[in-house]
A = this chain, B = another copy of it.
């Protein structure tokens, strides 16, 4: 107990174990052994992955979008471009991902009374799956929707009581 709170106070990683003679193990304890999977021996094959997610918006914001009244621009158009771009940056955002040469990214959007659903489909002939690329594309597209309707989602105190990104998931992965 005392140990834990001291650790917290000093910004330590892990515990400093109470048992003195374990102390010499600590150096290895605190190093996390991040590793990339080695894909060099795998064969390249055509792969595709589809991910989706949605953003919950206020009904009045949805109406505004439907009427083309989002001042910063149409969220669904922006979702498409930004999602396509984000797919290409996946290996920069995810340290352990391999750089892939994406051959097709499609972003579909659909507007419902409660928000916008985004689906991203990514394809390439590669040695590893594309689900992280599809998830990144969908997620960044949803963040862009948020950015573009920020002004309409904020309440009088500048907070976002309604806005949520939900259900970001892999719809289907095909190897």
Give the docked Cα–Cα distance between A8 and B100 (Å): 30
Q: Which residues 126-175 in A have Cβ within 8 Å of B in the complex?
A: 127, 129, 131-132, 135-136, 139-140, 143-144, 146-148, 150, 158-160, 163-170, 172-173, 175
Q: Are A71 and B165 in contact (CB under 8 A)?
A: no
Contact string, A107-136, partner B, CB cutoff 8 A, digits 1/0?
Answer: 101010000000000011101010110011
- Besides A19-B22, A99-B101, A132-B146, 14 more A-B contacts (Cβ < 8 Å) are A4-B28, A13-B32, A14-B32, A15-B28, A34-B84, A38-B103, A40-B124, A81-B81, A94-B140, A135-B143, A159-B170, A163-B170, A166-B167, A168-B168
20 sample A-B contacts, Cβ–Cβ < 8 Å, listed by A number: A10-B69, A10-B71, A12-B33, A14-B30, A27-B111, A29-B30, A31-B76, A34-B72, A34-B78, A34-B80, A39-B103, A40-B123, A78-B81, A82-B93, A84-B95, A85-B92, A88-B92, A103-B127, A129-B158, A159-B172
